[in-house]
Each structure stands twice: as C-alpha cells, then as structure tokens.
C-alpha cells in the first residue's frame, strides 16, 4: 500500500505526473543513443538535407529545397521544424532534431497516459504509458532524426483534445497528416468516420472545419508549387501502386490502384501475414459499421486505432519473416499502432481481470509481464540496429576522402549522407552542393553541349558517382566528353572525379 499511496500522490500532481512518465521514457532512449551513437538510418540524412537546404536556400524562394527532388514527397512540417532548429542553433548538425525526438518520445508517453486515464481509468493510462515507454521500435526510432515521432505526437495531441477542444484537435490532426503522409490518409478516413458517427454535432462541425481549413492551406501551397493540391499523398500512393516500375509507367492512377489491390488480395490470401492483414480490414469494417449504427460514446479512440492499424500494417507486416533487414527499417511504422493499441490492450486486460472468475485474477501481473517482454525485446534488438551504423560510417569515410580532393567550387553529390558529412564536418556551404537530379537529363536533354554548360555554369569542380542517380549524367559525359572527368579515387564503390576545366573550355570552343 505504501507504493500505491506514493504513486497516487504523484499522479494527483500534474507536474509530478508529467515528470514521472517523461523520465521513464527518456532513460531508455538516452541509453539507445549511448549504445548506438551514430544515426544509422540513411533516410535521416535525406530529411536533414531537405531541412538544411530549405533553411539556406529554399526559404528565400518561398518553398522547400532538395538536391534529389524529394522536398515535397514527405511531410512538410518536420522539415520546417528541423530547419528552425538548425537556424536557432546555427549548426549543420543533425543532433538538435535527434534531441527533440527523444524529448517528444517522453511527451508521447505522457499523452498516452492522459488518453488512457481520461477515457477509461488512471491505472489503464499508467500501464499503457509505461508499456509504450519501453516499446522497442519507439525507443530505437525516437533516438534518430526521422519524422515519425513528431507526427505521432501531433496525432496523440489530436486524440487527446478531441472531446474537449475539437477545433484544436482538427488542426493538430491536419498537421500530423503533413508530417507523415500515411497520417494524411488516416485523417481522411477518421474525419469521414466522425461525420458519420456524430452527424452534424457541434463538436463534429468544429473538428471537421478546423481540419479542412488547415489541410486547405497546405493544399493551396502544393497547388502553387506543383499544380497538384495533394502532391505528397498522390505520389506516395503512386509509388505504392507500382507507378515507377517498368510495368506501371504510363498507366493511369486508378488503373494502377485497381491492379495493385487485386494482386495484393490474391497474394495475401495465401500467406499468414496477408491473412492477418485481410482479417484486420474485415474487423475494421464490421466494427466501424457497428460504431456508426450505435454511435459509441468513446468511439474516437477505437476508430483512430482501427484506421491506423489498417493503413500502417501493410507497410511492415509483409516483410515478416523473410526480409529481416527491411523489416527492421520499417518497424517504425508499427509505432502508431502500438501507441493507441497499448491503451486498448491494457483496457481489455484490466476488464478481463475484473470480470473473469469474480475478479480473482486482479492481482495477476499481466501488465508488468508485458513491460518486461518489451524491455527484453529491446535488449535483443539494439545489437541488430547497431550493425546498420557501418553503412553510415562508410558513407562518412567516402565523404572525408572526397573532401581531400576538393579545391573550391561546387561538389555534385547525390548521396545525402555524404552531403551531411561534407556540410557538418567540412563546412561546405549549401550553395556549393549540387545534385544530378536537375541536370539536363531531368529535362530530357541529351545534347552534350548542354551538359558541359551545366558543369561550367555551376562551377562544378568535383563530381561524385554514387549510384543510379549519377548514372545518366555519367553515361552522356563518358561517351561524348571522355576527358572532362578525371578519376581521383574509388572509395567503397563511390567514384570521385575532378572536373578538367581545360577540357571543358576546349570542348565549348570547338
């Protein structure tokens, strides 16, 4: 009873409660950073590249910026937040955003407690928060510079404020949708569900109008920038449906979607993981129908969990069990499911313990057992993720060796990890970094003169071959102007070339 009394005294004080859950979550995340010090996810560096170039170049043009043409493909909000941090701390380091994600991991844990407490019971919120604090993918991915942690924080805030401040809830959900594109799809379904369950209640009107207005602002920006008001959502789905594959190129979007759905249904029906996905979709449909018909009182939490499960599960479940490396990278998509699912899971356990066998199972430590399993899983997964640091270390080494050949001018490099190293370690200015994406090839030009003019106009002195994005320029230049690029070094399949400006001038003069 002494422990329960002390715990109760903490949970009745809002400040102490926040510090309790914040600390419980922060400790394992700091431990992960200590054990895996290098941000091992290559996507982190691409997001950094967008943020850094937006800060240094894009903002003065009134838009986001990237060397690889992906500035609007992912959520806008996290890139602006990271750009803000880079500007405030006057740094090119990825560290401030990693620190923010760790802090937000603590906030997310606290929000899960609040949602569980306010919708069910304080003890449910307590165990749900502690369980999520040690959920391995959340702990591991909160220690790197990805956008999922911020997106989840906004989604949790939206669900937390839905009943008391629906206008704020709609705004926060719209921001979550512009932080992670999958949440945009989630929000569309959730908004439709709110409209069907609550009809034209004042809460539904406030929520929906706020969401529409906030989303409309972003759609207007996308329209002005790209002529496509749903640019990130459209191209994300286009990619999922196989639009960039050889079989998908040139086919209409609806045709791609129909073909993809039919193929997946057939493939999933013969696999255990696929059957689980189809089953979850069927459960969602039945539950949603019952929810709308009966107008559940606390429907919003269950509805959000169901939609998140249906949207996010197909992104990582198919990788199990045959594609371990890809699964480890994609497990971050399970975090929203775990966040909302932990509340409902603990609620089910709590009610079962109260109702089964006359409540005699009440003291069975099922919740603590789940927490211990999460901690044990974390100990197993940390060594697996630490191995991914090797890829980043190799990219850093390639960047360091490339810089040793740098004599000023512009560096063309399509690898964001190398660009990060060049900017953060070697202080290369943003204006001196360039990508092959916007070379003449991007405009469908094959005339070698245009390529040479591109090299000269941008004062390119170092050209780095890093893979497929570099290949098209290399193909034209090596065939038409073989003396233009002089190989200086090969590092881990990265080829570093110096641009021979004498050969460049001779070619233009001839």
Confidence of residue 351 (pLDDT cuts 50, 70, 90): confident
Check if the beta carbon of residue 495 is closer than 8 Å to that of residue 435. Answer: no
The pLDDT score that the predictor gives to residue 112 is 98
Tell me how far the alpha carbon of residue 458 is from its chain's centroid. Answer: 32
Segment 190-203 mean pLDDT: 91
Of 132-146, 281-295, 317-331, 486-500, the range with the lowest mean pLDDT is: 281-295
The pLDDT score that the predictor gives to residue 363 is 67
Of 158, 160, 202, 198, the C-alpha closest to 178 is 158
The pLDDT score that the predictor gives to residue 7 is 79
Confidence of residue 130 (pLDDT cuts 50, 70, 90): very high
Q: 41 pLDDT exceeds 60?
A: yes
The pLDDT score that the predictor gives to residue 8 is 76
Check if the beta carbon of residue 76 is closer than 8 Å to that of residue 175. Answer: no
Quote the CA–CA distance of 336 and 185 in Å, as a whole number. 14
Quote the CA–CA distance of 3 and 1 in Å, as a whole number. 5
Q: 322 pLDDT exceeds 80?
A: no
Token digits of residue 458: 């941008």
Q: 1 pLDDT exceeds 60?
A: no
Total number of residues shown for the chain = 510
The pLDDT score that the predictor gives to residue 360 is 61
Confidence of residue 194 (pLDDT cuts 50, 70, 90): very high
The pLDDT score that the predictor gives to residue 71 is 96
Segment 343-371 mean pLDDT: 79
The pLDDT score that the predictor gives to residue 359 is 58
Q: 356 pLDDT exceeds 70?
A: no
Q: What is the pLDDT of residues 382-402, one digit of tens each?
A: 999 999 999 999 999 999 999
Q: What is the pLDDT of residues 233-252, one digit of tens each?
A: 999 999 888 888 878 888 88
Beta-strand (E) ranges in 270-385?
A: none
Confidence of residue 350 (pLDDT cuts 50, 70, 90): confident
Confidence of residue 93 (pLDDT cuts 50, 70, 90): very high
Check if the beta carbon of residue 48 is closer than 8 Å to that of residue 420. Answer: yes
Q: 59 pLDDT exceeds 90?
A: yes
Q: What is the pLDDT of residues 408-465, one digit of tens each?
A: 999 999 999 999 999 999 999 999 999 999 899 998 898 999 999 999 999 999 999 9
Average pLDDT of the chain is 92
Q: What is the pLDDT of residues 269-302, one digit of tens each?
A: 878 877 887 887 888 888 888 888 877 878 899 9
The pLDDT score that the predictor gives to residue 358 is 57
Segment 21-30 mean pLDDT: 97
The pLDDT score that the predictor gives to residue 285 is 84
More confident residue, 298 or 216: 216
Quote the CA–CA distance of 424 and 201 in Å, as a whole number. 52
Interior/surface letters 318-342, b for 16+ CB within 10 angstroms, e for the rest: bbbeeeeeebbbbbbbbbbbbbbbb
Q: Would you list the domain boundaries of the chain?
A: 20-386, 390-509
DSSP result, 323-351 = -HHHHHHHGGGGHHHHHHHHHHHHHHHHH
DSSP result, 94-159 = SHHHHHHHHHHHHHHHHHHHHHHHHHT-HHHHHHHHHHHHT-HHHHHHTTSS-SHHHHHHHHHHHH
Q: 117 pLDDT exceeds 70?
A: yes
């Amino acid at each position: 009873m002494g422990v329960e009394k002390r715990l109760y005294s903490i949970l009745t004080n809002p400040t102490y409660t926040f510090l309790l859950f914040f600390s419980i979550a922060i400790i394992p995340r700091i431990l992960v950073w200590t054990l895996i010090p290098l941000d091992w996810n290559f996507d982190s560096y691409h997001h950094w590249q967008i943020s850094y170039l937006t800060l240094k170049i894009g903002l003065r043009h009134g838009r986001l910026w990237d060397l690889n043409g992906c500035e609007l493909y992912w959520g806008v909000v996290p890139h602006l937040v990271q750009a803000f941090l880079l500007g405030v701390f006057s740094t090119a380091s990825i560290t401030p955003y990693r620190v923010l994600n760790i802090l937000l991991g603590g906030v997310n844990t606290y929000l899960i407690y609040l949602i569980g407490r306010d919708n069910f019971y304080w003890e449910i919120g307590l165990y749900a928060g502690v369980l999520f604090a040690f959920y391995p993918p959340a702990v591991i991915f909160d220690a790197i510079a990805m956008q999922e942690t911020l997106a989840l924080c906004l989604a949790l805030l939206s669900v937390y404020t839905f009943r008391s401040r629906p206008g704020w809830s709609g705004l926060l959900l719209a921001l979550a949708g512009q932080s992670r594109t999958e949440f945009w799809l989630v929000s569309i379904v959730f908004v439709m569900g709110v409209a069907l369950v609550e009809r034209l209640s004042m809460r539904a009107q406030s929520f929906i109008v706020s969401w529409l207005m906030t989303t409309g602002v972003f759609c207007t920006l996308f329209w002005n920038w790209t002529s496509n008001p749903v640019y990130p959502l459209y191209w994300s789905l286009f990619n999922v449906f196989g639009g960039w594959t050889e079989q998908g190129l040139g086919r209409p979007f609806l045709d791609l979607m129909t073909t993809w759905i039919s193929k997946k249904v057939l493939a999933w029906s013969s696999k255990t993981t696929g059957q689980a996905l189809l089953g979850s979709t069927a459960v969602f449909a039945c539950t949603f129908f019952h929810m709308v018909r009966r107008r559940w009182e606390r429907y919003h939490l269950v509805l959000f969990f169901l939609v998140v499960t249906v949207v996010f599960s197909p992104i990582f479940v198919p990788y199990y069990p045959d594609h371990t490396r890809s699964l480890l990278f994609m497990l971050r998509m399970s975090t929203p499911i775990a966040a909302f699912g932990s509340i409902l899971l603990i609620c089910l356990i709590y009610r079962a313990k109260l109702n089964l066998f006359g409540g005699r199972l009440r003291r069975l430590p099922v919740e603590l057992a789940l927490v211990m399993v999460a901690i044990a899983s974390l100990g197993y997964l940390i060594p697996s993720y630490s191995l991914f640091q090797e890829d980043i270390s190799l990219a850093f080494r390639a960047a360091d060796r490339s810089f040793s050949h740098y004599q000023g001018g512009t560096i063309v490099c399509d690898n964001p990890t190398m660009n990060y190293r060049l900017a953060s370690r070697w202080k290369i200015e943003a204006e001196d970094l360039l990508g092959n994406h916007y070379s003449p090839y991007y405009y469908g030009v094959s005339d070698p003169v245009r390529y040479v003019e591109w090299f000269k106009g941008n004062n390119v002195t170092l050209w780095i071959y890093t893979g497929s994005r570099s290949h098209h320029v290399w193909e034209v230049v090596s065939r038409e102007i073989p003396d233009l690029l002089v190989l200086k070094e090969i590092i881990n399949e990265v080829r570093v070339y110096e641009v021979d400006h004498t050969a460049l001038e001779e070619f233009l003069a001839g």
